[in-house]
Chain A
Amino acid sequence: MSVIVSLLRRLEGPQTLGRGRGFWSLFALVLGGAVAYPLFSDGYTVGNTVYFFVWVFIALSLSLIWGYGGSLSFGQTAFFGIAGYGYGILTINFGAGYGFTWVALLLAIAFAALFALLLGYFMFFGRIAGVFLGIVTLAVTLMLERFMAQTAGPEWHIGAARLNGFNGMSAMPPLMIPWFDEPIVLFADIGLYYVVLGMLVVVYLGLRVLMNSSFGNVIVAIRENPERAEMLGYDIRKYQLITFVIGAALAGLSGVLYTVWGQYITPSSMGMTAAALPLIWVAVGGRSDLTTTVIGTLVVLSGFQALTIYGSQYALVFMGVLLVATVLVAPNGLVLGIINWITRLARRRKQEAA
């Protein structure tokens, strides 16, 4: 009981924006809106909304590793891809019966996390940090993309699952909830929407608790000054590795959900563009906070989607411009900058009134 109370207390803290009744009322309002939304929309639009939600997990993983931990990783897309392909390989081989899609989801995430554990071990215990961490993770991502792209031949298969090279893998089953006569199949519409929304809420709140715990304290301490953190007796490489693995698992969750959403995954989901876009969402939103990361990702992603209708080349150029503008105007993120500005304004109002 007291464990639950102390966990709930950590929903707020110095590492996360938003506290008190005002914030949580707004949170409940937004959540209520999100729950009610499918009632006022059609299945197709709801399915498209799920697509936006799917990316929030990889964005949160970047916020965790980069924004809170201070290590810029291009590897998130690699973990995304590993988990996505992992889900495909597992379900194409073992089917979707008896709730196996959920086991496959967990196993695929575990693959990504295990890969991150190995990669992270060599990086952090080999004292690779800063720019070099970015370079190594980017190299790994691009290598995986290249590798998967050349698996077109029939000799490239794992069991019944053909890897299919550049065209990618498709026709894996969507998630299914076992039910009495017939399983409930979560196609990309209302059913999947609620499942992913639920995961989003759990992950968001869970990360808030984690970041406001003593573990989160150490993570931001390492970002601020790794030497000082070590000189307080923390084995910083261990903390960095754990953060990296949690981040990989979240990116993997994105990858699996992306795969079940569209029932396909291609090597380009691990390419250069795929690696760069999440960085832009997170940088624009405000990487050092979970809430601004979520808002930034959803806003930029829907803006990007709207622009692609007019031509995807321009949309990508626009993303680049947005990133440069952010770096120049509000290096900590536009959403975060706006929120801080409003807070300051409100505080000044209060002082003037007093």
Chain B
Amino acid sequence: MALLQLRDLNKHFGGLHVTNSVNLVLEQGEIHCLIGPNGAGKSTLFRLILGEHQPGSGQICFAGEDITALKSFARIRRGLSVKFQVPGVFKGLSVRQNLEIALQSRLHGGELVQEIDRLLAFLGLAAEQAQTAGNLSHGQKQWLEIGMAIALKPRLLLLDEPTAGMSPEETHMTGEMVRRLNALGMTVLAIEHDMAFVRQVAQRVTVLHLGQVFAQGSIDEIVADERVAAIYLGQTHA
């Protein structure tokens, strides 16, 4: 069953056609990776899905419902959740409080305390729980924001470059984390540059280029596609 459907989505920034007739179907339960050169429009696509930008035309359906006109918070309440490219934790608050704010609309009292502790352990941030989130390392901030995103128990988790700034070991750990969440029933759409990570988690890959869906398939099909290699090469030469 399709969980998310983007139908003929378009978005312009001035004269720039950032999202160009994008059609994308995300199946319930899959891990799907979105790749493409910088400026391809990946983050913009996320912001359209989340309602931070309104599309010029097209339709966004989530779990069978047209959510194109819904406000962001309402989409989140329908079961979407996101970790942004630039970590957006609550810098002045403690790590623990960050998670509490993410969890408090779902849980209360003792259950809330227990779930925060469980999540801290899952993220490997138990020792840092009293620290101010702004003092965490970049990788720890990424994990904290992932933690806040999954605290909502979303049906679809959107991850925008979750491993940016992480060491290869940390990247691998993040990949394992994503797979565990997926095994628990979470559908995942991840923007990622790290091909090792994509190989580790992705069941399907979509390549975005100049705002258009350029190619789609398994990771092996994508890696073997010479046209895909060319757009990445083109970018490094430009």
Contact = CB atoms under 8 A, between A and B. Distances in A.
Contacts of A232: 76, 101-102, 105, 148, 152
B93 interface: yes
B88 interface: yes
A217 B88 contact: no
Nearest to A224: B90
B94 interface: yes
Contact of B90 (A228, A234, A236): A228
Nearest to B71: A235
Contacts of B88: 225, 227-228, 231
A58 interface: no
Nearest to B52: A227
B92 A217 contact: no
B50 interface: yes
Given A217-B104, A232-B101, A225 B94 contact: no
Interface of B: 50, 52, 71-74, 76-77, 81-82, 84, 88-94, 97, 100-102, 104-105, 145, 148, 152
A231 B89 contact: no
Interface size class of A (residues with CB under 8 A): 10 to 19
Contact of A221 (B71, B101, B145): B101
A217 B101 contact: yes
A184 to B, nearest CB: 44
Contact of A233 (B52, B92, B94, B152): B152
A218 B90 CA distance: 11
A230 B101 CA distance: 11
B93 A224 contact: yes
Given A231-B82, A232-B102, A221 B93 contact: yes
B97 A14 contact: yes
A234 B77 CA distance: 9
List the 3 closest A-B pairs by CB distance, nearest first.
Answer: A224-B90, A233-B76, A228-B88
Contacts of B101: 217-218, 221, 229, 232
A233 B100 contact: no
Contacts of B73: 230-231, 233-236
A259 B92 CA distance: 39
11 contacts: A14-B94, A14-B97, A214-B104, A214-B105, A220-B92, A220-B93, A221-B93, A221-B101, A225-B89, A232-B148, A234-B73
Contacts of B152: 232-233
Nearest to B151: A232
Contacts of A230: 72-73, 76
B100 A228 contact: no
A225 B152 CA distance: 17
Nearest to A222: B90
Contacts of A14: 93-94, 97
Contacts of A236: 73
Interface string A228-248: 111111111000000000000
A186 B93 CA distance: 44
A231 B74 CA distance: 9
A161 to B, nearest CB: 44
A292 to B, nearest CB: 16
A329 B125 CA distance: 33
Contacts of B50: 231
B76 A231 contact: yes
A125 to B, nearest CB: 11
A279 B76 CA distance: 36
Nearest to A236: B73
A152 B74 CA distance: 51
Output the residue of B81, B92, B101, B104 with the most chain A CB within 10 A. B101
Interface string A200-224: 0000000000000010011011011
A234 B88 CA distance: 15
Contacts of A224: 90-93
| Residue of A218, A228, A229, A232 with most partner-chain B CB within 10 A | A232
Nearest to B108: A214
A122 B93 CA distance: 30
B88 to A, nearest CB: 4
Nearest to A214: B104
Nearest to B94: A14
